[in-house]
Every structure is written in C-alpha cells, then in structure tokens.
Amino acid sequence: MSKIVVFTKEGFEGRTTEFKNDVQNLEEKGFSKVISSLKVIGAPWVAYYENNFSGKQRMFEEGEYPTLEDKEKFCSLKIITDDLDNPEIQLFEHINYGGRTVTLHQETNLHKIAFSDTASSHKVKCGVWVLYEHVNRQGAQLVSFPGEQVPSYLPLSFNDVTSHLVEDAAALPLPC
C-alpha cells in the first residue's frame, strides 16, 4: 500500500506519522509547517505550501528524503493515483491559451524545442505532469493532473519560467 511517512526533524528523527490518503490541512493532524524529512512508499505524493492543495508545491517519488530543501513549509499532501497512459499536455505561449502552442507526450527539455521560459498557460489531457523551472528536473515545480486547465501562471508565480517537464510514469495507472 502506498503511503508517506513524515518526520519533524531531519534524518528521520522527531515526531512521526504516516498518511495513506490526501490531507487537505496538516494543521489538523499536528504536522503543518514542521515536516523536515520524509519517506515515500509506492505512489508519488505532492506536498503543498498551503492548505487545500494550493500554493507552491513539490513532488516526491518513491524514496527517502532525509533533508528537505523546503523543510517546515508544507500544509497539505496529495497522493498521485491518476492515469498515466497516453500522457498529453498542451502548453500555450500566452495566458488564456493564446499564442504559439506545443503538445507534448513525454519528458521534454523545452530548450530543445525553442519553448523554454515561454509558457503562460496549459491544458492536461492525460497523465500527471511536473513542470520545472530549470532543465534536468531542477528548481520550482508545478504539478498538474488529468483534465486540469491552468489559464494563467501569473497567480502561481510561474509565468515564462518553465524549462523542463516530465510526465509522472511512476504513479499507478488508471483508465483515462
């Protein structure tokens, strides 16, 4: 069974608990803005800086994370169980789905297709996608789920910064 085990101190120390389902408000569980290390077993998880799966976010695939660069920031957690078959995302140059567009089906370094630092909105047809600020899966992240449409990156402080994106093939596939 998939789960995330969180710790209040680095190196898997301090208070600990595990979650097997989404948590909209970690404060109710006594773990808001205190997570400093974690372990993911099974499906990936997304940790959000705000309650109700909002604000900045970071995805964690299966593995152990003894030190988090953004420790003590997370307020909600979401497990990724969405469909990953036939991933497809459409990126748009301008907000409200305007300007040039590119449709992608696999991990892509946007520098290679002359679309880096250009995207301002997107639509996800299938798959869970992680958009990265820098190439090689580096920098800030924006995670997007099947059917999600983001008309503007401006409120997310992500406008014209995407340089790399990955479809998350590690999650459990379900029909799209």
The alpha carbon of residue 6 and the mean position of all alpha carbons in its chain are separated, in whole angstroms, by: 17
Superfamily of domain 3-79: Crystallins (2.60.20.10)
pTM of the model: 0.75
For residue 121, give the H/E element and its range.
Answer: strand 121-126
Average pLDDT over residues 159-174: 72
Residue 97 exposure: Cα atoms within 13 Å on the Cβ side: 10
Q: Could you tell me which CATH number the domain at 88-167 has?
A: 2.60.20.10
| pLDDT tens-place string over residues 18-72 | 999 999 999 999 999 999 999 999 989 999 999 999 988 999 999 999 999 899 9
Going by C-alpha positions, the residue among 117, 113, 124, 109 that lies closest to residue 93 is: 117
Q: CA 137 → CA 106, 129, 144, distances in Å?
A: 14, 12, 15
**pLDDT tens readout for residues 121-140:** 999 999 899 999 999 999 99
Rounded Cα gap, residues 103 and 106, in angstroms: 10
Angle of CA points 57, 144, 28, to nearest 5°:
45
Q: Under a CB-based contact definition with an 8 Å cutoff, are residues 35 and 74 in contact?
A: yes
Pick the residue with more confidence: 132 or 168? 132
Parse the chain into domains and list their residue ranges.
3-79, 88-167
Domains 3-79 and 88-167 share a fold: yes
